[in-house]
Amino acid sequence: MSHEVILLMGPPGAGKGTQADRLAQGRSLFKLSTGDLLRANVRAGTPLGQRAKVIMDAGGLVSDEIIIAMVRDELRNRPLRLLLDGFPRTRAQAEALDELLAELGASLSAAVLLEVDEAELIKRLQSRAALEGRSDDNEATIRNRMRVYAEQTQPLLDYYQAQGKLRRVNGLASIDEVTAAISEVLS
Ligand code: ADP
């Protein structure tokens, strides 16, 4: 099968996790979620997990160096059919990804943005906090994650727009409709 590397972008609470699973399955892509990898490290109590937990609970970003090394490691010897969820989140990560793919003789296929307005995001994150008890879903952390997203990750939209790779999808529709809209922009 040919190379395909898709990024799923969007603010916290936009529904990236749900759509990432569907998209990965539908297109036979390997899902790489930096949030999931970090949470697995926290659960296993690794040194990385211990450092990351403090940062995640505060709604901050784990350092580019750690994240890039983690992704590099994860991609070793893997076919280049990837769905990236939660990565890249900073300009440095985006540039590192482009370099890594270039080294492997590939390039990014598309960056899909799930667009959801802020009021809806806060509502969703608060109900997720109640349901799942994720320790980074409390109100202060949510606000910080929104701010970090606006400051560090939103500028990446211009980066991918300039490369002609950005595809926007309305994330307010039903889960099935969003899945269909993503397939549509990727076809
Ligand atoms: P969500 O999808 O709800 O925004 P994630 O599960 O992707 O959250 O990430 C949870 C937390 O893990 C982030 O708030 C951040 O602290 C850390 N994290 C995940 N991915 C990255 C990344 N690429 N760079 C830096 N920190 C990250």
Work out which ligand 1 atom sits closest to the CA atom of 59: 14
What's the pLDDT score for residue 9? 96
Q: Which helix (H) or strand (E) holds 7?
A: strand 4-9
What's the pLDDT score for residue 125? 80
Chunk the chain into consecutive blocks of 10 residues (it has 187) and report each block's average pLDDT, rounded to whole numbers: 91 90 96 96 96 94 96 91 97 97 94 92 80 75 90 97 97 95 96
Mutate to test the pocket of ligand 1, among 38, 53, 75 (most ligand atoms within 8 A of CB): 38
What's the pLDDT score for residue 76? 87
What's the pLDDT score for residue 124? 82
DSSP state of 141: H
CA dist list (Å): 73 to 25, 34, 162: 22, 12, 28
Locate tokens 């983690």: which residue? Answer: 70
- Region 4-186: CATH code: 3.40.50.300
Nearest CA to ligand 1 atom 6: 35
What's the pLDDT score for residue 162? 97
In the reported structure, the alpha carbon of residue 7 is separated from the centroid of ligand 1 by a whole-number distance in angstroms of 14
Catalytic residue IDs: 16, 89, 128, 134, 145
Every domain of the chain and the residues it spans: 4-186
CA dist list (Å): 114 to 49, 59, 68, 185: 28, 20, 23, 12
pTM for the complete prediction?
Answer: 0.91
What's the pLDDT score for residue 141? 85
Q: Which two tokens stand for residue 54?
A: 């403090």
Work out which ligand 1 atom sits closest to the CA atom of 88: 23
Work out which ligand 1 atom sits closest to the CA atom of 85: 7
Mutate to test the pocket of ligand 1, among 16, 19, 34 (most ligand atoms within 8 A of CB): 34
What's the pLDDT score for residue 1? 62
